Amino acid sequence: MPGGLDAVFGVHAVRALLARGEVPRVLWVQEGEAQQRLVELIDQARRGGARIEPHPREELDRLAQEASHQGIVAFAAPLAFESEAALWFKLEAWPHGAPPLLLVLDGVTDVHNFGACLRSADAAGVHGVIVPKDKSAPLNATVRKVACGAAEGVPVYQVTNLARALARLKEFGVWITGTAGEAEAMLFEAEFTGPTALVMGAEGKGMRRLTREACDGLVKLPMAGSVTSLNVSVATGICLFEAVRQRRGVGD
């Protein structure tokens, strides 16, 4: 594995990488049928300057471990967070159409949970993920692996002070909905059709006090069984797809 680079596994993740305008330094392609099946993707990477290397499936399997490589692995420069300034610029220039849907992760430090949240965010069409500079997982190779291409497709904005950033979001007309087990309102009672930021807290501790106080409203998931909470990535997926359900047809 080339040193100093992140491994990006699978067709979707490599395609997302190229769509961002980031050409991998090296592209490993599984010898045999995969070279014919992926010829278009390989040619696109080669035109961008990537070095193409055929390798036996065993090598790709050993590198990917439990990830699905689909016969292709790209080695690219590590991902970087988008700046807070870029977030405000994006909102100031927001186009007509669907209102913004943002995901805010407060204190999610586990890389596997972070990657899974990004994957759900990508699937739900989230326009951006916001994380604090402190108390947040890094955008490392493990996150990219778990996210299966979502880390390349969804912008992740890092802000210096999360409570202050949430206050600024309100100036753009974004409604801040936080999730908390002690909330009185249920998720399905919330309104997500307008400009929305959904805030998810860390497992166990939940949102920090200042984050909670910055929310316009709090909601909870109905829990019918013996467990009192869900994994943050599972809860994130449920909440985001309730927003998707409500937004169907909005802004079309």
Residue set of the binding site for S-adenosyl-L-methionine? 201, 221, 230
Could you list the residues known to form a binding site, using ranges.
Answer: 201, 221, 230
Token pair, residue 22, equals: 């980031």
Distance CA 58, CA 221 (A): 43
Token pair, residue 235, equals: 């809860």
**Cα dist from 36 to 16, 33, 41, 52, 104, whole Å:** 20, 5, 10, 13, 41
Distance CA 177, CA 170 (A): 11
Closest-CA residue to 115 (of 186, 66, 72, 162): 66
Helix (H, G, I), strand (E, B) or coil at 234: helix
